[in-house]
Structure 1
Amino acid sequence: MEIKLPKYFKWVVVLLGVILLIYILQMFKSILVPLAFSFLFALLLLPLNRDMEKWKIPRPLAIVSSIVLVVVILSLVVWFLSSQLMDLTTELDTITGNFETLISRVQDFLQEKFGIVPSNRTELITNSINGLQDVATNFLGSTISMTTGLLAALTIVPIYVFCLLYYRDHLERFLFKLVAKDKRSSLVHTLSNIQQVVQSYISGLMIVIVIVALLNSAGLLLLGVKYAIFFGVFASILTIIPYIGILIGSLLPALITLATTGHLIDAVLVIGVFMVVQFLEGNFITPYIVGSKVSINPFAAILALLVGGEIWGAAGMIMALPVIAMLKVIFDSYGPLEPIGFLLSDVDDVKPKKPKHKKKLQSFITEVWDGMFRSKNNKD
């Protein structure tokens, strides 16, 4: 006998389920974060492995080769950033000295033009220098921590990726056993869409990072900024966090340029370079390269970033867009959740198309006009 539950009770159960899911995600963060990144890397490397298997390369050797390629590329990027950062830290004394001179000049200007005398100039300068040193120290510590975490992940993530790729057929059969036979074709279609969305996003994002790094570095080199390539690459990597990543990456070079040159206009020009690159990336580069496969409206994307950052921190912000894109595919394929998929869609993708009768009317008017024109020429 079927038991019908009130709708409010169903919504309460759903809400409790969401709260339990968030609690589990936070509780088992150390296990789930590497597994989530492994899943993304596995989807990214899947086409390459399939091509290598078509070339009669054994599956284990194909998987190991693709993983080694990714590890080598990531290691080179980490080595470059670390070496540039260590060179930058050697100039902290010079930067702090320039910053002290800059503060003195600002205080002299305010006192001369407006008669503003600081209560304790020495204390202000000391606090400002200490604040700059604290920022640099925290930035260096967080970078070293991320590098250490990356090195630790290099031991467990490749194992996860290998297992996911090697046992992918077994996992696919497992999913088939979870659903009825008449729904397996829908499951295959959904899994294929999820794979295409994730692959399109990750591969497109890597191309965008390279292009943005070149544009950032070129702009900073034209301005004569020290460590221009490091700042350009660093800011481009932060585009992994959509909308706000490249803006965060512009603050550090702007502050260091201000402390180095002592001219506010130089810092403004540095921020201007990043703003121009941000405009090009958001309106031309990313839409052209990534395309409309990851069609999430900006409001849903920003909300996903905030939720992901609250649950998993920086890793959650990186995972936010791929996860919400996969959820949208699932929502679109399941009838009761299709309105949520519509809510997540970009507005341009759900706009009603222009009715075809307008095109037919225009073609009819054109044909009539051409006929009248031809008949007039025949009479003449």
Structure 2
Amino acid sequence: MEIKLPNYLKYILILLGVYLLIWLLQAFQSLLVPLAFSLLFALLLLPLNRKMERVKIPRPLAIIISIILIVVVLGLLIWFLSTQIMSLTSELQTIGNNITDLIEQVQLFMLDNFGIQPTNKTDLVRNAITSLQDIAGTFLGNTISMTTGLIAALTVVPIYVFCLLYYRDHLEKFLFMLITRDRRDNMVQTLHLIQRVAQSYISGLMIVIVVVSLLNSAGLFILGVKYALFFGVFASILTIIPYIGILIGSLLPALFTLATTGHLIDAVLVIGVFVFVQFLEGNFITPYVVGSKVSINPFAAIVALLLGGALWGAAGMILALPGIAILKVIFDSYEPLVPLGFLLADIDDVKPKKRGKVSKWFSSIWKGEAKGERNQ
């Protein structure tokens, strides 16, 4: 027997359901974040595993080989970044001296132009040391917590990935048993589309990171910036956090250049390099590599980014775009939620395309032939 509820009661239940969902996402963050990353890695490695299985490699061995490949790539990246950071610490003395000179120049400028007396250098240095100690303490605490979380993720995520890839047929049968027969075809199409969207996003993002890192490093090399390769790679990795990552990635080398050279124009040129590369990435590289499979409008992407950061921090910001792209596929596949999929879609994908004169001519000919066939 179907129970009809008033509209206001339906909306109240929907709001309560959304609130309960948010509470569950935050309460089980330690479980859901590694599981979400594992699902993305499993979708990325699925085509490679299928190719190895076609050449008679056992499934468990194929999964282990693919996981080892990912671990080696990530290990080499972490090793490169850590060695660059260790060598970067050797510049701290020079940076400190240059910062002192910059402070003196700014104080002289303020005195000559505005009559503001310079602050006592001893007090300024003392305040700076106190601030650095506070920042170092906070950074150390965050580093310890992130290290423990990273160690836990490195042990749990490969196990999750192995299980998801090994039991993928079992999980598919479970979904078949869960869905009625008349909806199974739609479910299969939705699953294939989700897999294709996730794979195209992750693989395309990796290609974009490589291309952007090369462009960033080349621009910094031309400007003569120290550790150009490190800053170029670091800024390109931060592009996995949309809109905000490139800002952080450009400010760090700009501040480093300002501290090492003492010239503001050099820092401005560094920011100019990243702005130019960001223009190329947003207008040419990403649309060409990733394509239109992850077609989310910028407003929805920014809201998803903020929600992901509020829920799961940096991990949520990384998972925001692929997550909302998968949600759009689900919305488009389920008729009552199609308006939500339309709301998330990019405006260029939903607006009707204008037909040229040639296409209109062919259309009129086709309609005329069809009309003639009906008359016959």
Superposition TM-score, scaled by structure 1 size: 0.90
| Paired residue type of 1:282 | G
Cα distance, 1:101–1:136 mapped onto 2, change above 3 Å: farther
Match of 1:309 in 2: 309
* Unpaired runs of at least 5, structure 1: 365-380
Match of 1:14 in 2: 14
Match of 1:235 in 2: 235
Mapped partners of 1:206, 1:134: distance in 2: 36
Cα distance, 1:37–1:200 mapped onto 2, change above 3 Å: same
Mapped partners of 1:288, 1:264: distance in 2: 35
Match of 2:199 in 1: 199
Mapped partners of 1:180, 1:358: distance in 2: 46
Q: Deviations over 1:60-95 (max 9, x none)?
A: 000000000000000110111111112222322321
* Unpaired runs of at least 5, structure 2: 365-376
Q: Is the 2:308–2:316 contact (alpha carbons within 8 Å) kept by the matching residues of 1?
A: yes
Aligned ranges for residues 255-274 of structure 1 at < 5 Å? 255-274=255-274
**TM-fit CA distance, 1:135:** 5.3
| Paired residue type of 1:214 | L
Mapped partners of 1:196, 1:303: distance in 2: 24
Match of 1:320 in 2: 320
Q: Is the 2:217–2:228 contact (alpha carbons within 8 Å) kept by the matching residues of 1?
A: yes
**TM-fit CA distance, 1:147:** 5.1
| Paired residue type of 1:112 | D
| Paired residue type of 2:342 | F
Aligned ranges for residues 97-176 of structure 1 at < 5 Å? 97-128=97-128, 131=131, 142=142, 146=146, 148-176=148-176
Cα distance, 1:113–1:78 mapped onto 2, change above 3 Å: same
**TM-fit CA distance, 1:51:** 0.6
Match of 2:5 in 1: 5
Q: Is the 2:194–2:329 contact (alpha carbons within 8 Å) kept by the matching residues of 1?
A: yes
Match of 2:246 in 1: 246
Which is worse superposed, 130-139 or 241-250?
130-139
Cα distance, 1:305–1:232 mapped onto 2, change above 3 Å: same
> What SS does the corresponding residue of 2:294 show, helix, strand or coil?
coil
Q: Deviations over 1:289-322 (max 9, x none)?
A: 0000000000000000000000000000000001
Q: Is the 1:103–1:125 contact (alpha carbons within 8 Å) kept by the matching residues of 2?
A: no
**TM-fit CA distance, 1:190:** 0.3
**TM-fit CA distance, 1:124:** 3.1
Q: Deviations over 1:22-62 (max 9, x none)?
A: 11111111111000000000000000000100000000000
> What SS does the corresponding residue of 1:313 show, helix, strand or coil?
helix
Mapped partners of 1:278, 1:224: distance in 2: 20
**TM-fit CA distance, 1:358:** 7.4
**TM-fit CA distance, 1:12:** 1.1
Sequence identity (%): 73
| Paired residue type of 1:31 | L
Cα distance, 1:141–1:81 mapped onto 2, change above 3 Å: farther
Aligned ranges for residues 352-371 of structure 1 at < 5 Å? 352-355=352-355, 359-360=359-360
Q: Is the 1:331–1:338 contact (alpha carbons within 8 Å) kept by the matching residues of 2?
A: yes
Mapped partners of 1:25, 1:79: distance in 2: 33
Q: Is the 1:99–1:129 contact (alpha carbons within 8 Å) kept by the matching residues of 2?
A: no
**TM-fit CA distance, 1:354:** 2.0
Q: Deviations over 1:232-260 (max 9, x none)?
A: 11110000011121111111111111111
Mapped partners of 1:62, 1:149: distance in 2: 27
Q: Deviations over 1:257-305 (max 9, x none)?
A: 1111111111111111111111111111001000000000000000000
Mapped partners of 2:363, 2:8: distance in 1: 54
Cα distance, 1:232–1:260 mapped onto 2, change above 3 Å: same
Aligned ranges for residues 212-231 of structure 1 at < 5 Å? 212-231=212-231
Mapped partners of 1:103, 1:125: distance in 2: 10
RMSD: 2.1
Mapped partners of 1:9, 1:363: distance in 2: 49
**TM-fit CA distance, 1:102:** 1.0
Superposition TM-score, scaled by structure 2 size: 0.91
Whether 2:54 is the aligned partner of 1:60: answer no
Mapped partners of 2:210, 2:152: distance in 1: 25
